[in-house]
Amino acid sequence: MCGIVGYVGDKESAPILVSGLKRLEYRGYDSAGLAVLHRNQLNVVRATGKLRNLENRVVAEPPKGTIGIGHTRWATHGRPSDENAHPHTYEGVAVVHNGIIENHLELKATLKGRGHAFSSETDSEVFAHLISEELKRGLELPKAVRAAITHVKGTYALAVVAENDPEHIVCTKDASPMVLGLSEGQNFVASDVPALLEHTRDVIFLEEGDLAVLSAAKAEVFDRQGRPVNRPIRRIDWTPMMAEKGGHKHFMHKEIHEQPRAIADTLRGRVLRTQGDVHLEGFNLEPEVVKGLTKVTMLACGTSWHSGLAGKLMIESLARLPVEVELASEFRYRDPIVEKSHLAIAISQSGETADTLAALKEAKARGARTMAVCNVIGSAMTREADFTVLTNAGPEIGVASTKAFTTQLVALYMLAVKLGRMRGTLSLEAAQKHLTYLTEVPKMVEDVLRCEPEVKKVARAYLGARDFLFLGRGPMHSVALEGALKLKEISYIHAEGYAGGEMKHGPIALIDETLPVVVIAPKEPKVAYEKILGNIEEVRARGGKVIAIIDEGDQHVPGLADAVIRIPSAPALLAPVVATIPLQLLAYHVADMRGNDVDQPRNLAKSVTVE
C-alpha cells in the first residue's frame, strides 16, 4: 500500500530517499516524508500531497546525514495530513510503517496511561512509542524493535532509526513486503523493488518475522527466534516497468493476484467472531437508529454498482432490511423517495466518481443517514458521508476494477452481519457462522486463482468471438454482469450479462454456434443451481458454446459444457467473491491475447470525476 525506502552509506541520504520514493510514485499516495540522522540527531521533513511538495522542502533546507528512512503514505488510519505522514517520531525514535495495527487503540490507551502523548491519528505511531520504551529499559535498537513488535497484533513492514544508534537501520516485516538492497559500502531497504533498482540489483526478500540490521558495511538478517539466517541474495533483472508491476505483465494481473491479501486486509481487526460482531471504525449509527431503518439505498456506478447488487442480497437476507440498488447517474435526475429512516450507502473504489458523489449529496440533502464504502480515505465521498467503511484493498491502478470489487463485497457482508446483529435478525450462533465463512474467504480466493491455466485455455479458444453472454441466477446475477463488464471494457468484445431467467425473454435470440455463453453455476443456492441447469440445456439446444463456472465437486455439468472452470464451494452469499475471479482472469487473458492495452483501455478513465 504505502512505500518505504531506507538508506545507510557514505552519501547524503535525503536525495537518495526522495529518488527512491519517486520510483514508487506510480501507485499514487497522499503524503510523504523522511527522517535523516546526523550526529545523533533526527531531522524529519514531511509534506502532504505530491512528492514534489516534499522534494521542495528537502531542496530548500536539505537535511544532512548519511542514514535515513523515507515513506509515501496511502492513508488507512487518519486523513492525509503533515501530522499523519510518516516518519513518526517519539523521543529520538523514527519509524516508517506499512500495514495495519489491529490493536492500536488499546495500545494507544495503555501508552497514554503511562504518560505518552501522541501527535498523529495513525496506528503506526505506536511503534515509535513502544520502541522508545524498550530503549529506555536499556535494550539495544534491534532488541528494542523485537520487543516492541511482540505487543502488536496486525501486519507490518517497519523500518526504524534512532538517535542513540546513528549507524543502523533496523527493519522487520510480517505479512507486508520488505526487501533489502545490497551494495558496496551502502545498503538499502524498501517495500518494493523499483525503489532499489537505480542503486543495486542484488536483493534479499525478507521472510515473515525476519528482522534485519543494516549498516553501511553489512546487512544481517535474523529469524523470528532471533537466530542469524542466510536468506538467498537474488539478482533482479527486471526492467523498472516490470518491477513496478512486481514481475506481472500488467497491473491488472498483479491486482487480480493481490486479492487474497487485499481481502485479508479488509477483514483485519474487524471480525470479532466470539462476540458474533464486527468492528467497523467510525460506524456511528445508534442501535435505535439501526432498528428504525426502513430502507437501505445503495448508490454506485459500474463495478461498484454490481457489488451493490450482491450486497443487497446480503443485507436483505441477514438484516431483513429492504435494499434498493440505484445507478447513481440516474438517482439524482428523478425525484427519489428518501426518508430520515433510510440509510444511503455510496459504494466507490475512488470515492471521487462524480455521479456517485452527487447522488450521495442528494440523499443526504433529503435527510437520509449516509455512509461510504470506499477504498480511498480522504476522498470526496469519505468527507461527505456520515461515516465510512474502508475497503483497504490498496491502490488499484488498472482501469478495470478487480480487488476493489471483491473487497467491497467483503465489506458489505461485514456490514450485513453488523446490521443483522443490531436489528436482532441474526442470532449469536448464526453471526459466528457467517464470520467464520468470512475468515475463510482469503484462502478460497488463493485456491481459485489456481484455475488460471484452465482459464487461459478458454481465453485462447474463444478470443475471436464477436459476442459473449454471461448468465447467473441469485447471487450470481451480479457476477454475470461484472464478468460481462470486465470482458467488454478491456477486450472490446461485446458482452451481455443476464439473470438466467431473463434469457428466454430476449437474449435467447442471439444464440447460435458462434456464441460463447459463460454460465456461472455453483451448487449454492440449490434453487439457483437447478434453474441454471435449464439455461445450459437451452443454450446447448441452440448450438451455443457453454463455458461453465462450477463447484469443484460438480459431476453433472462437465457432461453438458464445452469447457468448465472449477471453483471452491462457497456459501451462497459469499460465492460472488470466489466466482468473479475466473471471470476477471478470462477478461484479462482475452484482452492480453488480443494485444490490447489492458491497464489503460481505450476511452476509459480510472476515476470518472466528470458527468
Q: Which residues are catalytic?
A: 2, 606
360 in Cβ contact with 380 (< 8 Å): no
Which DSSP string corresponds to 422-457?
HHT-S-HHHHHHHHHHHHHHHHHHHHHGGGHHHHHH
Tell which one of 301, 338, 499, 565 touches ligand M6R (CB under 6 A): 301
Least distance from C-beta 216 to ligand M6R, angstroms? 45
**Residue 275 in grid coordinates:** 462476540
Which run of H or of E encompasses 120?
A: none
Exposure string over 251-282, b if 16+ CB within 10 A, otherwise e = bbbbbbbbbbbbbbbbbbbbbeeeebbbebee
Per-residue string for binding with ligand M6R, 257-296, x by CB under 6 A?
Answer: ----------------------------------------
Per-residue string for binding with ligand M6R, 65-104, x by CB under 6 A?
Answer: ----------------------------------------
Least distance from C-beta 349 to ligand M6R, angstroms? 4
3-class secondary structure per residue, 274-286? CCCEECCCCCCCC
401 binds ligand M6R (CB under 6 A): yes
Tell which one of 42, 141, 345, 399 touches ligand M6R (CB under 6 A): 399
Nearest to 530 by CA among 489, 553, 500: 500
Tell which one of 304, 406, 407, 491 touches ligand M6R (CB under 6 A): 304
The residue type at 526: K
550 in Cβ contact with 558 (< 8 Å): yes
349 binds ligand M6R (CB under 6 A): yes
Q: Which is nearer to ligand M6R, 89 or 348 (CB)?
A: 348
How far, in Å, CA of 115 to CA of 108, rounded?
Answer: 10
- Span near ligand M6R by CB under 6 A; candidates 270-278, 300-308, 516-524, 576-584: 300-308
Contacts to ligand M6R from residues 354-373, by CB under 6 A: 356
**Residue 295 in grid coordinates:** 430502507
Least distance from C-beta 347 to ligand M6R, angstroms? 7
Which run of H or of E encompasses 212?
A: strand 211-214
If binding means CB under 6 A, how many residues of this protein chain bind ligand M6R? 16
Q: Which is nearer to ligand M6R, 294 or 609 (CB)?
A: 609
**Residue 473 in grid coordinates:** 441466477
How far separated are the first and last CA of the chain, in Å rounded?
A: 29
Tell which one of 120, 155, 350, 535 touches ligand M6R (CB under 6 A): 350
Q: Which is nearer to ligand M6R, 560 or 608 (CB)?
A: 608
Least distance from C-beta 176 to ligand M6R, angstroms? 24
Q: State the residue number with the nearest CB to ligand M6R.
A: 302
489 binds ligand M6R (CB under 6 A): yes
- Span near ligand M6R by CB under 6 A; candidates 89-97, 226-234, 299-307, 503-511: 299-307
182 in Cβ contact with 141 (< 8 Å): no
Burial of 381 (0-12, 13-18, 19+ CB in 10 A): buried
Least distance from C-beta 491 to ligand M6R, angstroms? 12
Q: Which is nearer to ligand M6R, 124 or 348 (CB)?
A: 348
575 in Cβ contact with 524 (< 8 Å): yes
Least distance from C-beta 448 to ligand M6R, angstroms? 19
Helices (H), 65-207: 104-113, 125-136, 141-149
Least distance from C-beta 486 to ligand M6R, angstroms? 6
How far, in Å, CA of 110 to CA of 327, rounded?
Answer: 46
Q: Which is nearer to ligand M6R, 369 or 488 (CB)?
A: 488
- In sequence order, the β-bridge partners of residue 495 are 468
51 binds ligand M6R (CB under 6 A): no
Tell which one of 259, 348, 406, 535 touches ligand M6R (CB under 6 A): 348
Q: Which is nearer to ligand M6R, 399 or 493 (CB)?
A: 399
Q: Which residues form the interface with ligand M6R (CB under 6 A)?
A: 301-304, 348-350, 353, 356, 399-401, 489, 604, 607-608
